[in-house]
Amino acid sequence: MNGGRRSATAFWVLAATLSTGCEREVPGSGPAATPARQPPAGTYFIDVSVHAGFDFKHAHGGSGKKYLPEIMGAGGSALDYDGDGWIDVYLVQSGSLPGAGGGQALSNRLYRNRGDGTFEDVTEAAGVGDTGYGMGSVAADYDNDGDPDLYVVNFGPNALYRNDGDGSFTDVTALAGVGDRAWGSSASFFDADQDGHLDLYVVNYLEFSVESHVDCGTPSKGILSYCSPDVYPAAADVFYRSRGDGTFADRTNEAGLTAANGKGLGAVAADLTGDGWPDLYVANDSTPNFLYVNLSSGSFRERGVALGVSHNEDGMTEAGMGTDVGDVNGDGHPDIFVTNLSNETNALYLGGSGFFTYATRRSGLYAPSYLPVGFGTDLLDADNDADLDLVVANGHVIDNISLIDDAQSFAQPGQLFLNDGSGVLSLVSPELAGDIAAPKVGRGTITLDFDNDGRLDLVITENNGPARLYRNVATAGNWIGFELETKGANRDAIGARITVAASGRSLSEEKKAGSSYQTSGDPRVHFGLGAATSAMVTVRWPNGDEVSYGELSAGRYHRLER
Amino acid sequence: MWLAVAYVPAGYPQSGADPLVQAEALIAGGRHAAAANLLQRVQTTNPSARGAYLLGFALIQLYRFEQAESQLRHALESSPNEPDWRHALARTLLEQGKNQAALDELKRALDLADKPEFHYAKAMCALNLGRLDVAEKALEASLGLSPNQPEALYKLGKIQIDRGDYQGGIERLRQAVERNPDHVEARFLLGLAWRHRGNLEAAASAFQAVLERLPGHVGALFNLTSVRARQGRDEEAETLRERFETATALQDQIDFLRAGIRKEPGNAVARLRLAELLLDTGRGQEALEALLAARQLSPTNPAIYHLLARVFALRGNEARARQASQIAQELEGRP
């Protein structure tokens, strides 16, 4: 069991202090999780769940009535909750649907990374076994005390767990005033008004209750299916602005985050317009996606249609599920990726010059994403060759879909796409993608480097099935990673933009808290460097200060402070 | 194209004629329910493989695919080498979502006869299975046998564009539009292709041509808005954006109708209205599906056939458009 928060100084080695900031080295690679078998040469991901003691199994509590929330969860978060330099994993459970009668309440689980490739379940000691009907979570240091807290998004009241810094958490939902009761899906922490205190956006899905449930499918033939979201009205999202004292106020209306009819499932906050202020992108299911542009004041205007990111290229809404932001084509502008339903395609919107361009076709993503139902997704450099690759967790929402369409299946392979450096993404064969390509009812993706070897690993959650830990075993290039800290305000430096330049190539990435589908990933920012052994590093901190850190070595995580 | 069947003769039933000939005439006249009734009686008293085939074909038109499949399989047990019958069976399988089985039947049909419609159907199965390479080859084979198929040219162009081959797509789509200037979807895709090639004026022209034919086409409005904004024509872009928002607002009505249809699946009028809205927003395939369901429920409603004619015309299927228009006029008592 975890004996409490460890002293960070035992793990962090001060490497350099610069006039404009501070740079420290963080732990290197630890003992790797031993794979149960040797993967074929060229394999990317292998399932190490069993060896790692990663035994979480999601249960949706299915009643046979096909209540829609059953099929939608659940996600989780990567976080270093005890500050030992090893990334831990929090996984969200659903259990018994409120109002459906019966069933055992199950709780979310926190898995502590022992640093030797294995994990231990510390849920009880940590006090984060939320028993709500869970959907997602996001981790960030909302109270600026130097450790990550957890916000849990439920079908029903959400919960905020404050990290007490001693290995345990306290449920401060009521105190903080963030217990929204709607059907939530995802959430993002970000500093909307740049006052140094993280605000919180909660993405809500539908107005559903067991009482309002509608039988879908072909009830006359005794065939029930999970309904389309068209059947239920949208539930409005909620924006909580931090008061700076650990409490929040619902400022959804004042902030202008009120676009109508958003059946939201995923969200990501990032500076999408290049003005230094965080914007907000919301993936909505069957209704237009939202791009809330920050008006440089912490209030927003929805401009999805005007900027070309609300619909697909045919002007049609799609079933937005998960979303992520990153510079896919390496032009310095952030791009948006959204996963969608089958018989649609996932959507890639390339940013630049004030507009976004729908690039699903030209990027090579059209055909490979036409049949699968995409949920979780992350843009990550899986092979450290200095460009962003793409992972997508797939799984249908209709468990008997193969009765209706033989081109479809309920469990579907996860997908890995490799970037050629220009934004063209090629699907990796299932043999080489490895165990992530095994069919599953995929939902959340959590990118993390659990063994600190600089190759990004994955957790993929499954609806009503096990969450799996996949170790990246790719033959990969060099890499560099960063942990950021702003002293005093927005301590996690959410919204900071890091640029690394190496071998004539410049790459930028923004620190986020909440993306994909119902998840948040490794709090560190990672770059592949290819053959380069060092990189010139610049950080635009959330307050707008741009600081150059000179040339930093590859092959390690650097801690940058401001 | 998909519905074209070689055997159907023109004309109407005559008393005293062979019942199978009468059934064929009823089918040719679009009176599929009457044909099915007649054929069910005939098959009870004097079953034959051809009768089973005709019954299967009529049942396809009535959206009774499971029964159609049963009849067609029965027919093929006796006459396994009838390529058109296998083609019809493939259609029932395709409509039931049995894409792989449909593809297998079409391969057998093609072993028996090399017909453009068989290749085309094979392409549809392959598209449903996400196998663009197979679909592309099948469409090329179909066009090799019968070059004057705007729908096949459109689909081939679409595959090329879906792969990101905009130049190849432009060539095929131009051919489709040359053969059918009212093929709205071909014009729309042409606009997308030009846009991605950086020719904003050509793209705008294509989108405008779409809007001349379907003023509420959301895809054309969405893209033309973007093109004008990129050209700095902000006022025009704003007007177009408002038109787009108005067009997409129809989605609420579409959702409302769909919810109503879920509660009352037999409401043909609601399905007809749904089809109108879908067509107004440029969603031709969904409109067609709604109309075919409405036709099954209310086969003598001329309004359904009028709209079917419009949908077929906008999708480039002139023969089906003419046929639907003719049926509508006959149902209205016009010659």
User: pLDDT grade, residue A213 (50/70/90)?
Assistant: very high
Q: What percent of chain B has pLDDT over 90?
A: 59
Query: Is residue A39 pLDDT above 80, yes or no?
Result: no
Chain A residue closest in CA terms to B125: A407
Confidence at residue A36, expressed as pLDDT on a 0 to 100 scale: 52
Closest approach of A336 to chain B, Cα-based (Å): 17
List the one residue out of B178, B238, B216, B162 whose CA is nearest residue B207. Answer: B216
User: pLDDT grade, residue A10 (50/70/90)?
Assistant: very low
What value does the mean pLDDT of chain B take? 88
The answer to whether the Cβ–Cβ distance between A361 and B282 falls below 8 Å is no
Confidence at residue B271, expressed as pLDDT on a 0 to 100 scale: 92
Query: Is residue B13 pLDDT above 80, yes or no?
Result: no
User: pLDDT grade, residue A25 (50/70/90)?
Assistant: low
The DSSP secondary structure of A143-211, one letter per residue, reads T-SSS-EEEEEEES--EEEEE-SSS-EEE-HHHHT----SBEEEEEEE-TT-SSS-EEEEEE-B---TT
Interface of B with A in 69-98 (CB under 8 A): 97-98
ipTM above 0.85 for this complex: no
**Stronger pLDDT, A331 or B335, i.e. the higher one:** A331
Across the interface, of A315, A361, A407, the residue whose CB is closest to B219 is A315
Across the interface, of A308, A364, A407, the residue whose CB is closest to B226 is A308
Confidence at residue A20, expressed as pLDDT on a 0 to 100 scale: 41
Spatial separation of the C-alpha atoms in residues A148 and A126, rounded to whole Å = 13
Structure tokens at A374: 């995409």
Residues from chain A that touch B129, judged by Cβ atoms under 8 A, are: 371, 407
Dihedral class, residue A346 (left if φ above 0, else alpha if ψ from -120 to 50, else beta): beta
User: pLDDT grade, residue B29 (50/70/90)?
Assistant: confident
Across the interface, of A288, A308, A361, the residue whose CB is closest to B161 is A361
Confidence at residue B258, expressed as pLDDT on a 0 to 100 scale: 83
Among chain A, residues having any CB pair with chain B shorter than 8 Å are 214, 216, 230-231, 288, 305-306, 308, 311, 313-317, 355, 361-364, 366-367, 370-371, 404-407
Closest approach of A356 to chain B, Cα-based (Å): 9
Average pLDDT over residues B256-274: 84
Average pLDDT over residues B94-121: 93
Across the interface, of B130, B218, B248, the residue whose CB is closest to A367 is B130
**Stronger pLDDT, A31 or A406, i.e. the higher one:** A406
Average pLDDT over residues A439-464: 98
Confidence at residue A29, expressed as pLDDT on a 0 to 100 scale: 57
For B124-167, the pLDDT digits (tens) are: 999 988 889 999 999 999 999 999 999 999 999 999 999 889 99
**Stronger pLDDT, B320 or A221, i.e. the higher one:** B320
User: pLDDT grade, residue A366 (50/70/90)?
Assistant: very high
Average pLDDT over residues A35-54: 86
Confidence at residue B78, expressed as pLDDT on a 0 to 100 scale: 93
Chosen from B162, B170, B211, B239 to mutate, greatest number of chain A CBs within 10 A: B162
Chain A residue closest in CA terms to B222: A315
For A279-322, the pLDDT digits (tens) are: 999 999 999 999 999 999 889 999 998 899 999 999 989 999 99
How would you classify the pairing of strands A442-448 and A519-520?
A: unpaired
Helix axes of B200-213 and B184-196: crossing angle, nearest 10 degrees: 160
Chain B residue closest in CA terms to A313: B219
Closest approach of B178 to chain A, Cα-based (Å): 22
The answer to whether the Cβ–Cβ distance between B162 and A315 falls below 8 Å is no
Chosen from A224, A285, A316 to mutate, greatest number of chain B CBs within 10 A: A316
Query: Is residue A534 pLDDT above 80, yes or no?
Result: yes
Chosen from A313, A317, A348 to mutate, greatest number of chain B CBs within 10 A: A313
> Could you give the 3-state DSSP secondary structure of residue B65?
helix
Residues from chain B that touch A404, judged by Cβ atoms under 8 A, are: 97
For A165-187, the pLDDT digits (tens) are: 999 999 999 999 999 999 999 99
What value does the mean pLDDT of chain A take? 92
Asked if residues A119 and A500 have their Cβ atoms less than 8 Å apart, the reply is no
Confidence at residue A3, expressed as pLDDT on a 0 to 100 scale: 35
User: pLDDT grade, residue A16 (50/70/90)?
Assistant: very low
List the one residue out of A450, A443, A421 whose CA is nearest residue A322. Answer: A443
Query: Is residue A12 pLDDT above 70, yes or no?
Result: no
Burial of B220 (0-12, 13-18, 19+ CB in 10 A): buried
Confidence at residue B257, expressed as pLDDT on a 0 to 100 scale: 87
Could you tell me if B196 lies within 8 Å of chain A, comparing CB atoms? yes
Residues from chain A that touch B220, judged by Cβ atoms under 8 A, are: 315
Average pLDDT over residues B301-317: 87
**Stronger pLDDT, B15 or B121, i.e. the higher one:** B121
Chosen from B251, B254, B256, B263 to mutate, greatest number of chain A CBs within 10 A: B251
Q: What percent of chain A has pLDDT over 70?
A: 93
Query: Is residue A13 pLDDT above 60, yes or no?
Result: no
Query: What's the CA dihedral at B37, B40, B45, B50 to 10 degrees?
Result: 120
Confidence at residue A8, expressed as pLDDT on a 0 to 100 scale: 33
The answer to whether the Cβ–Cβ distance between B251 and A317 falls below 8 Å is yes
The answer to whether the Cβ–Cβ distance between B244 and A363 falls below 8 Å is no
Average pLDDT over residues A408-435: 96
List the one residue out of A11, A10, A23, A6 whose CA is nearest residue A559. Answer: A23
CB contacts < 8 A (A, B) = 83
Confidence at residue B11, expressed as pLDDT on a 0 to 100 scale: 39
Q: What percent of chain A has pLDDT over 90?
A: 82
Across the interface, of B99, B162, B244, the residue whose CB is closest to A305 is B244
Query: Is residue A271 pLDDT above 50, yes or no?
Result: yes
Spatial separation of the C-alpha atoms in residues A211 and A101, rounded to whole Å = 12
Interface of B with A in 239-268 (CB under 8 A): 241, 244-245, 248, 251, 255, 258-259, 262
Query: Is residue A15 pLDDT above 50, yes or no?
Result: no
Of A283-292, B50-59, B308-317, least confident by mean pLDDT is B308-317
The answer to whether the Cβ–Cβ distance between A313 and B219 falls below 8 Å is yes
Structure tokens at B287: 């409109």
Asked if residues A73 and A463 have their Cβ atoms less than 8 Å apart, the reply is yes
Query: Is residue B189 pLDDT above 60, yes or no?
Result: yes
Reduced 3-state DSSP string for A403-463: HHCCCCCCEECCEEEEECCCCCEEECCHHHHEHHHCCECEEEEEEECCCCCCCCEEEEEEC
Residues from chain B that touch A231, judged by Cβ atoms under 8 A, are: 259, 262
Contacts of A512 (CB under 8 A, 6+ apart): A188, A190, A268, A269, A270, A325, A494, A520, A521
Confidence at residue B15, expressed as pLDDT on a 0 to 100 scale: 54
Confidence at residue A23, expressed as pLDDT on a 0 to 100 scale: 52
Across the interface, of A362, A404, A406, the residue whose CB is closest to B100 is A406
Place of tokens 């895709």: B189
Average pLDDT over residues A92-112: 90
Closest approach of B212 to chain A, Cα-based (Å): 17
Residues from chain B that touch A230, judged by Cβ atoms under 8 A, are: 255, 258-259
Give the rounded distance of the alpha carbon of A232 from its chain centre: 26
Spatial separation of the C-alpha atoms in residues B71 and B276, rounded to whole Å = 33
Query: Is residue A399 pLDDT above 50, yes or no?
Result: yes
Average pLDDT over residues A132-151: 97
The answer to whether the Cβ–Cβ distance between A308 and B218 falls below 8 Å is no
Average pLDDT over residues A52-70: 94
For A224-263, the pLDDT digits (tens) are: 889 999 889 999 999 999 999 999 999 999 999 999 889 9
User: pLDDT grade, residue B259 (50/70/90)?
Assistant: confident
Beta strand residue intervals within A45-183, DSSP E: 45-47, 76-79, 88-91, 109-113, 119-121, 133-140, 149-155, 159-163, 169-171
The answer to whether the Cβ–Cβ distance between B132 and A367 falls below 8 Å is yes
Confidence at residue A26, expressed as pLDDT on a 0 to 100 scale: 59
